[in-house]
Amino acid sequence: MAHDFRMPTLHRKLVFALAWILFWTMMTWVAVQDFIRGGHAGQLWKPVLWEGSSALVCTLLALVQLRLSRGDARLLGTPLRWFARQALFLPMYWIAFVPLAFGLRHGVYGLAGETYTHDALPQLFLYESIKISIFVGLFTAVRFGVESYRALLEQKLHAERANALLRQAQLQRLAQQMQPHFLFNALNTISSLMHSDVDKADATLLRLAEVLRATLDLGQHDQAPFGDELRLARGYAGVMAERFAGRVEIDWDVDAAVDALPVPVMSLQPLLENVFKHTVERRRGLTRIVVSARREADRLVLRVDDDGGRLDGTAGSAAPDAVPAPAQGARPGSGTATGGIGLANLRARLAAMYGGQAAFDLSSRPGGGVRVELRLPCGS
């Protein structure tokens, strides 16, 4: 059972706010004590103003930094890049801190009928820039630690969810795909071929054994190199092509450079199965299928196109950066439907493993037929 390690957003923000207030309270307390030891016990508002103005301005600037760097969580895995990105905010502190903080102090002193004195501006800017750089460095280091820990917990949560769904997928796959009727049809095909083409029957039997063996081997993992997934899909397609001899033609347009990229186990085979089940099996004419795989920037793009299927129900294209929920109202028909257990399970596994970074798209092709497309993150 997966455990929820996520800290509620409101709770997490409250903890940060309390820690921030405690820090500045301690800074103010130290300043007041130093002021008292200097023999100025009657004007405690001054050290409170000094630290209070610094706290207010630093809070405003830190909020600006946090808002502008919300998308930097993706860089946590490369600390040097993450810290370099945060360092770009240092000039903002250097430029804005002295005018804002010291402007507040001058204003309050003026209202009190006093004059606030400090070093000449060049020395003041240099001294305060060094101080604020140290403060920002500490703040950034603490933030990196907290966000890295939170990302680690979320990654662990996603991994547990993915493992749970994988175990469910294994049971569903063995129950659905390797069910008796599939084996019966495959063995029946082999039996028929034994009377006309013994060599082809033997080759088909070897393909069937390869599919069964690959399914069991890959079933022990949640991810596998695409090359292994492709071999499983080719074995499955070979068996099905013999079963529907003369009714299906499959082209493989696969870039060899993607063989080593990791993909979810049994992510390509369900796409092929969907075409055979909802298109090839229901047609008497020739169905042409094109399986393609290539890398586009930081995405591995897998496509299965056919020229004879059609979408039923309310199927449509998914958003480019999200894994949509299964379409509602879809029903089996004489074309490629939005998918049953196989595609629904694949959608759920993609969501658990990649969140919003993976995409699943099921759409009609302009020239007829259906395209199923997966877009998976493949890193740098």
Domains in the chain, ordered, with CATH? 9-156 (no CATH), 177-377 (3.30.565.10)
- The CB density around residue 255, as the number of other CB atoms within 10 Å, is 13
Going by the DSSP 8-state scheme, the letter that residue 112 receives in this structure is T
CA 173, 176, 177, 180 torsion: positive or negative? positive
DSSP per residue, 198-213? HHHHHHHHHHHHHHHH
The reported pLDDT for the residue numbered 249 is 94
Which residue is it, tokens 């890193």? 379
The reported pLDDT for the residue numbered 143 is 84
The reported pLDDT for the residue numbered 328 is 36
DSSP per residue, 269-295? HHHHHHHHHHTGGG-SS-EEEEEEEEE
- Integer Cα distance of 355 and 121 in angstroms: 51
Which residue is it, tokens 């997934």? 229
The reported pLDDT for the residue numbered 193 is 78
Question: Contact, 363 vs 371, CB < 8 A?
Answer: yes
The reported pLDDT for the residue numbered 255 is 94
The reported pLDDT for the residue numbered 326 is 39
Binned average pLDDT, 10 residues per bin, the chain of 380 residues: 48 78 91 84 87 93 90 85 91 93 93 90 91 90 85 81 71 50 69 81 80 67 85 85 88 94 86 88 91 93 91 44 38 45 77 84 88 85
Write the single-letter amino acid at 61: L
Residue 116 tokens, joined: 């606030």
In 341-369, which positions are buried (b, 16+ CB within 10 angstroms) versus exposed (e)?
ebbebbbbbbbbbbeebbbbbbebeeeeb
First to last CA, the chain: 32
